[in-house]
A and B are shown apart, each in its own frame.
Chain A
Amino acid sequence: MSLDRRQFLKIAGISSILGFGASVASATHTLWQKGLEPPQIEPNKDALIAKRWAMVVDMSKFKTEEDISKVTSACHQTHNVPDFRNPDGTVDEKFEIKWIWQEPYERTFPGAENQFMSEHIKEMPFLVFCNHCDNPPCVRVCPTKATFKLSNGVTMQDEHRCIGCRFCMAACPYGSRSFNWTDPRKALNAATENKAYPTRTKGVVEKCTFCTERLQFGKMPACVEAAPKDAMFFGDIEDPNSEVRKIVATQLTIRRKPELGTGPAVYYVIGGSDHA
Chain B
Amino acid sequence: MKLYDGGKILIGLVVFLAFVLFPFYNNIGKVNAKPEPKTDTPEIQEWVKINGKKECVESKEFMQREHMQLLNNWRDAVVRDMYRVYVSTSSGKQFNMSLQNGCLHCHSNKKKFCDECHNYMAVKPYCFDCHIQPMEKEENKS
Contacts and interface: CB of A to CB of B under 8 A. Distances in A.
B129 A195 contact: no
Contacts of A190: 141
- The binding surface of chain A is classed by DSSP as loop
Given A160-B75, A196-B101, A201 B87 contact: no
Interface residues of B, number: 29
Interface string B111-136: 00000000000000010011110100
Interface stretch (B6-14, B28-36, B76-84): B76-84
Interface in A26-45: 30, 33, 35-36, 38-45
Contacts of B84: 42-44, 47, 216-217
A41 B132 contact: no
Which interface residue of A44, A193, A200, A217 has the most chain B CB atoms within 10 A? Answer: A44
Contacts of B76: 35
Contacts of A195: 100, 132, 134
A35 B73 CA distance: 6
B27 interface: no
Nearest to A145: B80
Which interface residue of B76, B83, B126 has the most chain A CB atoms within 10 A? Answer: B83
B86 A201 contact: no
A201 B80 CA distance: 19
Interface string A201-238: 10000000000100011000000000000000000000
A42 B94 CA distance: 9
B43 to A, nearest CB: 14
Interface string B86-115: 110100001011001100000000000000
Nearest to A148: B80
